[in-house]
Copies of this chain bind each other. A is one copy, B any other.
Amino acid sequence: MVHRPPIKALAFDVFGTVVDWRSGIARDAAPILARLGRTDIDPHAFADGWRKRYQPALEEVRSGRRPFVILDTLHREALEDLLRHHNIDPAALDGATLTDLTHAWHRLEPWPDSVEGLTRLKTRYPIVTLSNGNIALMLEMVRRAGLPWDAILGAEVSRVYKPLPEAYLATARMLAIEPSELCLVAAHHSDLAAARAAGLQTAYVDRPHEYGGRPAPDADAAQDWEFGVDSLTRLADELCR
């Protein structure tokens, strides 16, 4: 059996792992699409398109070709691009509406087990975010959803986007612990693989509804993670006994 150092803190991916982005984005996009007379566009497919669309922009920042900008900015650009893809001129919506729709990412709801699971895990471990989301986004989400984070860390604090190794290493450093004493909790194998490569422990949370029941795009990156659960309450069962 491999020796595992004691875990001193838990860092969480947020979009998909703690909150349900697809339902929340579809909910907020639907009335806008209806107002534009575009009921032919499925709001859930619109959410999928939005989520997929900011990855190339993230890569521009990760590669260093573009200076760091917060995720709200990348979300806004991706939204305008997505609208144009659907032959909608972003100018057909006023600026306040575009900003408000961009902030749909601030208003996502937690999965049913998230608040209880985090609250129980927090009794034993510091719990922090390790998300690509920016601070204002995470803060509004926290205020609405009651997520009991001890601290909001992640991209805007470290100025590095996952899955670059420095995103994980900077988080351990800010917590003043070794990478091997930090456990990333995520629903995405690709995120966990990068965390493991950087020396972190890993906990996989299965979220079969993240993509509306379709398989995750990174299903083939699955490994034998240190922990594997189907909810954050089950993770609390494993880690807090």
Contact = CB atoms under 8 A, between A and B. Distances in A.
A88 interface: no
Contact of A143 (B135, B138, B149, B150): B150
Contacts of A128: 139
A192 B134 CA distance: 27
Interface residues of A, number: 20
Contact of A175 (B126, B139, B153): B139
Which of A128, A150, A156 has the most chain B CB atoms closer than 10 A to its own CB?
Answer: A150
A139 B152 contact: no
A151 B126 contact: no
Interface string A20-34: 000000000000000
A219 interface: no
Interface of A: 72, 126, 128, 134-136, 138-139, 142-143, 149-153, 156-157, 174-176
